[in-house]
Amino acid sequence: MRSYTSADTDAFTAEVTAPNTAVSEQSKRWQSVKVCHNAEDPMATVHEHNVHKRTDELVHLVRRAVDELGSAAWPVCTRNVFVHKNALKFRPAVLDNSELPSSASWPLLLDGDSAMRYPAIYGLLCTVFEWFRVAVDGQWAVGPYDMRYWDFMHGVAPVPYVIARDKNAPHYAMCTRTGFRRWTAAGMLHLLRARYSVSANTLAYLELAVSST
């Protein structure tokens, strides 16, 4: 069975940037978050048996940071979260605004006004969506992007948006920066509610990043 984490996907460079050198010494005491389907993997941080618990922990972490900073204009994604003493924490560069936005979980205009107003909550939505798809279904995913293994590349990369195939799927949109297929905010929220039975409190918070239609 496939064991996969977004941190292993070198093809999608937005998610594999190395930690800021200014905090490299501190980072030695931290463990990168590894998301996979196989709960028996000793390095797994998030897996099929603890994904709900880890999600609740991440939501609490984001909510507390938003309250303390009075802002939701900073990037949330798997690579910006580390484990320290078995607790999830953000890399310092994320919260002090020295971290560049992640191209995978940073909102675009097509994601709607709410996502643009609350980038951190939108990033949380993307990250939670990724964690459940990988941990529960064993799929390849990075934030809102579908990923797959491409034989000609000998590696994993995003799936392109194909008009003939995807235009009638309301949960998909074409990324205006890359042309890749991207889940809409409403589509991600719906799947989290309908398939993965995410808690009502978490869904209510994530809904802040989803514009009403």
Q: What is the pLDDT of residue 94?
A: 78
> Phi and psi at residue 46, in whole multiples of 5°?
-125, 125
Q: What is the pLDDT of residue 10?
A: 41
Residue 15 reports pLDDT greater than 60: no
Residue 8 reports pLDDT greater than 70: no
Q: What is the pLDDT of residue 167?
A: 93
Which of 8-12, 63-67, 91-95, 141-145 is the least confident region?
8-12
Query: Of residues 6 and 203, which shows the higher confidence score?
Result: 203
Q: What is the mean pLDDT of residues 158-162?
A: 94
Q: What is the pLDDT of residues 147-159, one digit of tens each?
A: 998 988 888 989 9
Considering the entire predicted model, what is its pTM? 0.85
3-state helix, strand, coil in the chain (%, to 5): 40, 15, 45
Q: Are 74 and 121 in contact (CB under 8 A)?
A: no
Q: What is the pLDDT of residues 104-154, one digit of tens each?
A: 899 999 999 999 999 999 999 999 999 999 999 999 999 999 999 898 888
Q: In which region does residue 113 sit, left (phi positive, over 0), alpha (psi from -120 to 50) or beta (all else)?
A: alpha
The domain limits of the chain are 6-209
